[in-house]
Each structure stands twice: as structure tokens, then as C-alpha cells.
């Protein structure tokens, strides 16, 4: 059975009330529930995490390495655009990471066009709301 982690970064705990015109009105719980349903269908063991702290994301990336995870789906929120430390952690662990975003970051402010995650990721899925995560989980299944 594949072991996949979903890691969500800062402010994603506020989905549902946070800028619904950009991110939709569903909650993080809704996303995780849909992912859990799909993971059962795909025979994947899923672990879902969310934190507002950069170092905690790095600790979880290390944890996934230490515990033989097969893949990580990461929405690093705004750390996507700033974090060399998360970039380095992904490079270090050598587990395939798929970068996801709810919104189409390239259709938004210019500061969101730069990603420190993309160069060290298998690929990026951006702009499809909840579907970004579900597509990433299917892609992860195909990768492994
Ligand atoms: C986001 C896009 C980021 O630019 C933003 O800072 C977020 C959410 C997304 O899922 O669309 O927090 O990662």
C-alpha cells in the first residue's frame, strides 16, 4: 500500500472564511475528506497535516523521509514564494513531491509567480480548487 502525505501550509486552516472568491467556500476538512475517499479507492494510506509554521513543514518532510513515505502532496501556501529552506528540505529527502495550489498563482499578483518548490518538485498543479489535490493524488498513484 502506498503511503502518501498531504501537507498544507499557512492560512489554509482558514479555508471557508478566507477570501472565498479566490479559494472557494469549502473548508480544509472538506478537502481532506474528499482525499480520504479517493485514497481508499486508490488503495493509498493517507496522512493529512496542516501548519502555519515553516519549520514544522520541514520537520514533516523529514518525518516522511524517516518513515518511508512514497510521495508528498504539498501546498506550502505563501512559503511557496519565499522558502529556500523548504526547497532545500525537498531536495534532501528525495521523495517525489507534487506542488499544488487551489488558485492559479500565475493569474494573480507577480510575487506569486515565483515558486521555490517547483524546481525540486515532480510537477505542479495549480488553479483547480479541491480538484488540484485530487489530480495530484491520482498522479502520485501513477508515479509509483
Ligand atoms: C495558495 C497560493 C499562495 O500564493 C497563497 O499564499 C496561499 C494559497 C493556493 O493554494 O492557491 O496561501 O498556495
Q: Tell me: the pLDDT tens digits for 80-112?
A: 999 999 999 999 998 999 999 999 999 999 999
Residues 6+ apart with CB under 8 A from 93: 61, 62, 64, 65
pTM here?
A: 0.97
Shortest-distance Cα residue to atom 6 of ligand 1: 78
Q: Is 101 in the pocket of ligand 1 (CB under 6 A)?
A: yes
Strands 2-8 and 123-126: unpaired
Q: Which residues are catalytic?
A: 23, 101
- Residue from 57, 102, 121, 125 to probe ligand 1 pocket by mutation (most atoms less than 8 Å from CB): 102
Shortest-distance Cα residue to atom 12 of ligand 1: 77
**pLDDT, tens only, 36-52:** 999 999 999 999 999 99
Amino acid at each position: 500500500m502506498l503511503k502518501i502525505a498531504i501537507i498544507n501550509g499557512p492560512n489554509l486552516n482558514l479555508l471557508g472564511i478566507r477570501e472565498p472568491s479566490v479559494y472557494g467556500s469549502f473548508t480544509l476538512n472538506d478537502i481532506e475528506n474528499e482525499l480520504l475517499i479517493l485514497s481508499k479507492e486508490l488503495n493509498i494510506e493517507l496522512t493529512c497535516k496542516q501548519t502555519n509554521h515553516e519549520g514544522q513543514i520541514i520537520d514533516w518532510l523529514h518525518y516522511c523521509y524517516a518513515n518511508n513515505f512514497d510521495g508528498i502532496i504539498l501546498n506550502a501556501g505563501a512559503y511557496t514564494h519565499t522558502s529556500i529552506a523548504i526547497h532545500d528540505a525537498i531536495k534532501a529527502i528525495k521523495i517525489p513531491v507534487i506542488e499544488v495550489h487551489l488558485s492559479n498563482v500565475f493569474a494573480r499578483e507577480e510575487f506569486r509567480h515565483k515558486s521555490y518548490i517547483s524546481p525540486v518538485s515532480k510537477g505542479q498543479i495549480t488553479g483547480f480548487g479541491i480538484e488540484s489535490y485530487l489530480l495530484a493524488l491520482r498522479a502520485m498513484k501513477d508515479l509509483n
